[in-house]
């Protein structure tokens, strides 16, 4: 019995050794004697066992017998479909349907598929110790896409030097496809042919933006990069220009008349589209009537019209550093729909009766006609809050007091408080940034915010939680799911190292209140930047959906977007559904509505990415005038390829490449968000203060590179940690010593081995 068990165990060991051997030699062919010798098996009886195992593996399909007695690993593949991921660094991949991890595709096996193409691939059988690979068999569906870059015209040919992170090579442009582009122009091109044997694709110019580096060229190129429109179709403009305001006596008679009630708008100083206004008056019973009046866009834009189709496709207005790309034609967004002062306007309104503590005594929702008395900028409204002086000061002070009551209760109920500044630029007549300032939310901003939140919440509750036994009908909600438990636990663990305790269990209000307390306590502390960033990263992303899960960040059970129909298509959807349901209309198709919600969410992400890209371009342009200057900053991001540093003075962000940290070999500790020196155990982590010099500014890549100032002295004065992140020593600064650098080839080899081990 014991001997039989031993034989079974030995055979299992031999099988494992054979599998490992062929995993390490997937393309070679061998007989049983060669394999036995490679495995160190010399006894004849054991070699015969190897021969039996090889025959069994042929039957199992793991091996193929090329000729009698000679075996090779079977290239077992399975056909699958997925989305191709192309990268300019050559690390192409395919994301198989219902998975989220890309599988490597070598360029020779890509069939020149482009990023986003639907492909059918063969997946090599995954074997122990070998990364899986895929080979493209067929491009099922090509994604319509274009590439941005700079045109270079040579004597006999031209090409587009792309800015894309999805394409490593230039696009050859035949002279007949240049479309008037000249050397140095910023342009957009399309690939028309890329044969299997060709290194570079053949393309054609789609549009020319103008000389590279000019402001208009670069801003339009950013929009095109994200597939966003940079021109407005003339037929849509013409259709809008034919629309009249139409505020007739008959139309006024169908609406509640607020023209005699004190009403004003409060907006940024450069705003042109005023889509919300506030009215206020004292009621006979001593309570306050506050009206949240929203531009009645859907009165003018009807479903299925050319204007509506264009607005639906755009889904949102886009705000770049120096311009707004509107969702609606200018005649509507800045004209007849905009709630401009001293003009009669049609509105869709939420009217609230509030007591002195801002408790809602009653409310109503309906269409109105208003006449704004005054257009305030945020700065003007803030001045009245701070001084109590100026026209309509009493009304603004009352609204401010009521808003603060609403805000206090919202946070008592568990709303989260992330007060993050926004970077803004003063630019000259050519679009060049000459100064940086920060948009900070003050009481005037929060006043408007609270009443918009109140209206959005009330509208969503009206439809999502109907009175009586009525069932809620399909609706557009703005949802914000609870944070991922793993992310929150990781964040709480890091916060605890700085002495902050965050609750992870219990009521939502208790958890969020503990987070808010931490955000208050961390203000002005060295770890503020680190913990604020990590807190935001632990949160889910807000999206539009017909499936209501509430809004975690606001601590609302029902929430929607009703207050900005001039610049957001979901708000137009909400206006139409609200009108339909308030009139007793039937439920709409939920699946179709969900598709529109997803499209709006997707377009919102693209618009936000374009806005960030324009800000990043201006940051690089601004700092390009400051090459060589020294600044103080904080580490705002840590990756395996370097440290992101945000300058304290102007909040511009750049990178210190890990290759420039030449006092040691640094490895990325993903769990602790830090880089740790392998030999000296020096550490760089999020939130650390550094002194940097502006080293490089690449406008095409929107990339800033920084260099550490006296990095050796700086790092030597930092705590030294062990591999577990525990401080083991705090050495004093030492004089900079000359270091002997290894040959670059050896250094690269070490990096590759390190990555493989990780």
State the Cα–Cα distance between residues 346 and 366, nearest whole angstrom.
Answer: 11
Return the structure tokens found at 335.
């004209």
Return the structure tokens found at 514.
């503990």
Q: What is the arithmetic mean of pLDDT over 320-335?
A: 94
User: pLDDT of 145-186, one tens digit each?
Assistant: 889 999 999 888 899 999 888 888 899 999 999 999 999 999
- pLDDT > 90 fraction of the chain, expressed in percent and rounded: 57
User: pLDDT of 210-227, one tens digit each?
Assistant: 999 999 999 999 999 898
Mean pLDDT comparison of 8-17, 322-331, 634-643, highest-scoring range? 322-331
Q: Which residue is listed with tokens 């007060």?
A: 419
| Cβ neighbours for 322, distance < 8 A, ≥ 6 positions apart | 215, 219, 425, 427, 431, 614
Return the structure tokens found at 325.
């790309």
Return the structure tokens found at 83.
């989305």
User: pLDDT of 421-458, one tens digit each?
Assistant: 788 899 999 999 999 988 888 999 999 999 999 999 99
Q: Indicate whether 744 pLDDT > 70.
A: no
User: pLDDT of 389-420, one tens digit each?
Assistant: 999 999 999 999 999 999 999 999 989 887 76
Residue 15 confidence (pLDDT):
87
DSSP string covering 572-603, please? HHHHHHHHHHHTTPPPPPHHHHHHHHHHHHHH
Q: Judge contact between 711 and 658, C-beta under 8 A.
A: no
User: pLDDT of 259-307, one tens digit each?
Assistant: 999 999 999 988 889 999 999 999 999 999 999 999 999 999 999 999 9
91-110 burial, b at 16+ Cβ within 10 Å, e below that, comes to: ebbbebeeeeebbebeeebb
Q: Which residue is listed with tokens 């509105």?
A: 347
Angle at 201 between CA 195 and CA 206, to 5 degrees: 130
| Cβ neighbours for 466, distance < 8 A, ≥ 6 positions apart | 472
What is the pLDDT confidence band of residue 4, given thresholds at 50, 70 and 90?
Answer: very low
Q: Indicate whether 635 pLDDT > 90.
A: no
Q: What is the arithmetic mean of pLDDT over 133-153?
A: 90
Task: Give the predicted TM-score (pTM) of the model.
Answer: 0.79
Q: Indicate whether 686 pLDDT > 50.
A: yes
Return the structure tokens found at 153.
């015209």
| Cβ neighbours for 524, distance < 8 A, ≥ 6 positions apart | none
Distance set, CA 268 to CA 420, 425, 640 (Å): 17, 14, 40
Helix (H, G, I), strand (E, B) or coil at 527: coil
State the Cα–Cα distance between residues 111 and 196, nearest whole angstrom.
Answer: 6
Q: Which has more pLDDT, 722 or 228?
A: 228
Q: Indicate whether 526 pLDDT > 80.
A: no
| Rg of the chain taking only CA atoms, in angstroms | 32
Q: What is the arithmetic mean of pLDDT over 59-82?
A: 74
Average pLDDT, the chain: 87
Distance set, CA 606 to CA 323, 346, 481, 496 (Å): 16, 31, 21, 36
| Cβ neighbours for 653, distance < 8 A, ≥ 6 positions apart | 616, 619, 636, 637, 644, 645, 646, 647, 704
What is the pLDDT confidence band of residue 130, given thresholds at 50, 70 and 90?
Answer: low
Calculate the CA 644 to chain-centre distance.
Answer: 17
Q: Indicate whether 717 pLDDT > 50.
A: no
Residues, the chain, total? 758
- Judge residue 496's burial from the number of C-beta atoms within 10 Å of its C-beta, 0-12 exposed, 13-18 middle, 19 or more buried: exposed
Residue 61 confidence (pLDDT):
67
Cβ atoms < 10 Å from Cβ of 447: 26
Helix (H, G, I), strand (E, B) or coil at 717: coil
State the Cα–Cα distance between residues 541 and 532, nearest whole angstrom.
Answer: 16
What angle do helix axes 306-314 and 590-624 make, rounded to 10 degrees? Answer: 60
Angle at 32 between CA 26 and CA 33, to 5 degrees: 115
Phi, psi of 473 (to 5 degrees): -100, 160
Please enumerate, as own/partner, the contacts of 247-254 that have beta carbons within 8 Å and a separation of 24 or more.
247/344, 247/345, 247/346, 247/369, 251/346, 251/369, 252/369, 254/367
Q: Which has more pLDDT, 100 or 634?
A: 634
Q: Which has more pLDDT, 726 or 339?
A: 339
User: pLDDT of 19-59, one tens digit each?
Assistant: 888 878 877 889 999 999 999 998 888 998 999 899 888 87
Q: Judge contact between 611 and 318, C-beta under 8 A.
A: yes
Calculate the CA 723 to chain-centre distance.
Answer: 32
| Cβ neighbours for 73, distance < 8 A, ≥ 6 positions apart | 22, 23, 25, 26, 27, 62, 63, 64, 127
Q: Which of 131, 138, 203, 140 is nearest to 167 (CA)?
A: 203
State the Cα–Cα distance between residues 266 and 381, nearest whole angstrom.
Answer: 7
What angle do helix axes 306-314 and 234-241 make, rounded to 10 degrees? Answer: 120
State the Cα–Cα distance between residues 370 and 258, nearest whole angstrom.
Answer: 5
User: pLDDT of 645-667, one tens digit each?
Assistant: 999 899 899 999 998 888 889 99
CA quadruple 48, 54, 60, 65: dihedral, nearest 10: -130
315 backbone φψ class: left, alpha, beta (φ>0; ψ -120 to 50) = left
Phi, psi of 453 (to 5 degrees): -60, -40
Q: Indicate whether 758 pLDDT > 60.
A: no
Q: Which has more pLDDT, 681 or 567?
A: 567
State the Cα–Cα distance between residues 465 and 442, nearest whole angstrom.
Answer: 33
User: pLDDT of 535-569, one tens digit each?
Assistant: 888 888 999 999 999 999 999 999 999 999 999 99
């Amino acid at each position: 019995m014991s001997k039989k068990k031993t034989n079974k165990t030995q055979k299992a060991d031999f099988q494992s050794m054979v599998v490992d051997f062929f995993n390490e030699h997937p393309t070679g062919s061998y007989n049983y004697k060669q394999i036995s010798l490679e495995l160190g098996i010399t006894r004849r009886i054991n070699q015969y066992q190897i021969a039996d195992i090889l025959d069994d593996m042929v039957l199992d399909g793991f091996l193929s017998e090329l000729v009698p007695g000679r075996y090779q690993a079977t290239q077992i593949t399975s056909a699958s479909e997925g989305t191709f991921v192309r990268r300019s660094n050559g690390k192409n991949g395919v994301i198989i349907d219902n998975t989220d991890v890309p599988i490597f595709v070598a360029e020779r096996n890509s069939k020149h598929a482009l990023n986003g193409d639907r492909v059918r691939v063969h997946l090599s059988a995954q074997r122990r110790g070998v990364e899986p690979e895929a080979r493209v068999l067929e491009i099922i569906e090509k994604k319509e896409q274009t590439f941005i870059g700079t045109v270079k015209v040579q004597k006999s040919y031209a090409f587009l030097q792309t800015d894309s992170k999805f394409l490593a090579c230039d696009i050859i442009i035949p002279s007949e496809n240049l479309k008037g582009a000249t050397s140095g122009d910023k342009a957009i091109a399309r690939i028309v042919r890329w044969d299997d044997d060709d290194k570079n694709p053949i393309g054609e110019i789609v549009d020319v933006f103008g000389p590279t580096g000019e402001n208009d060229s670069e801003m339009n190129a950013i929009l095109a990069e994200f597939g966003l429109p940079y021109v407005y179709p003339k037929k849509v403009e013409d259709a809008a220009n034919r629309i009249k305001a139409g505020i007739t006596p008959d139309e006024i008679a169908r609406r509640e008349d607020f023209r005699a009630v004190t009403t004003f708008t409060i907006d940024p100083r450069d705003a042109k589209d005023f889509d919300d206004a506030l009215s206020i008056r004292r009621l006979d019973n001593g309570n306050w009537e506050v009206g949240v009046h929203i531009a009645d866009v859907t009165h003018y834009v009807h479903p299925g019209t050319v204007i509506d189709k264009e607005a639906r496709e755009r889904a949102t207005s886009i705000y770049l550093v120096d311009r707004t790309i509107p969702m609606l034609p200018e005649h509507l967004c800045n004209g007849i729909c905009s709630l401009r002062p001293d003009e009669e306007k049609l509105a869709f309104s939420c009217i609230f009766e509030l007591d002195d503590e801002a408790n809602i005594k009653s409310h109503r929702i309906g269409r109105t006609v208003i006449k704004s008395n005054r257009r305030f900028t945020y700065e003007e409204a803030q001045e009245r809050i701070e001084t109590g002086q100026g026209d309509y000061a009493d009304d603004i002070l009352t609204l401010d007091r009521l808003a603060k009551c609403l805000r206090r209760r919202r946070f008592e109920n568990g709303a989260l408080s992330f007060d993050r500044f926004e970077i803004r630029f003063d630019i000259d007549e050519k679009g060049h940034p000459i100064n940086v300032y920060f948009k900070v939310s003050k009481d005037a901003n929060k006043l408007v915010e609270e009443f918009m939140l109140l209206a959005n919440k009330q509208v969503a509750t009206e439809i999502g939680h109907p009175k009586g036994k009525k069932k809620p009908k399909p609706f557009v909600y703005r949802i914000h799911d609870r944070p991922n438990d793993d992310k929150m636990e990781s964040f709480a663990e890091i916060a605890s190292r700085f002495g902050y305790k965050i609750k992870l269990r219990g009521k939502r209000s208790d958890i969020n209140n503990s987070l808010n307390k931490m955000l208050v306590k961390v203000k002005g502390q060295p770890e503020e930047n680190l913990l604020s960033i990590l807190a935001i990263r632990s949160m889910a992303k807000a999206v539009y959906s017909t499936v209501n899960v509430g809004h975690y960040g606001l601590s609302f059970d029902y929430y929607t977007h009703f207050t900005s129909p001039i610049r957001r298509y979901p708000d137009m959807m909400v206006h139409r559904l609200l009108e339909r349901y308030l009139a007793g209309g039937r439920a709409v198709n939920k699946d179709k509505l969900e598709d529109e919600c997803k499209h709006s969410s997707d377009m919102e992400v693209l618009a936000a990415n374009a806005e960030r890209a324009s800000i990043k371009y201006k940051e690089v342009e601004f700092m390009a005038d400051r090459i060589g200057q020294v600044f103080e900053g904080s580490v705002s991001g840590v990756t395996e390829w370097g440290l992101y540093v945000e300058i304290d003075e102007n909040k511009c962000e750049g990178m210190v490449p890990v290759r420039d940290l030449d006092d040691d070999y640094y490895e990325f500790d993903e769990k602790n968000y830090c880089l740790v020196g392998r030999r000296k155990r020096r550490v760089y982590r999020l939130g650390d203060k550094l002194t940097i010099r502006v080293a490089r500014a690449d406008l095409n890549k929107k990339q800033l590179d920084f260099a550490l100032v006296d990095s050796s002295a700086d790092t030597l004065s930092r705590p030294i940690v062990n591999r577990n992140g525990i401080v083991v020593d705090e050495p004093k600064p030492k004089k900079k010593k000359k270091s002997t650098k290894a040959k670059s080839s050896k250094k690269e080899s070490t990096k590759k081995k390190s990555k493989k081990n990780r």
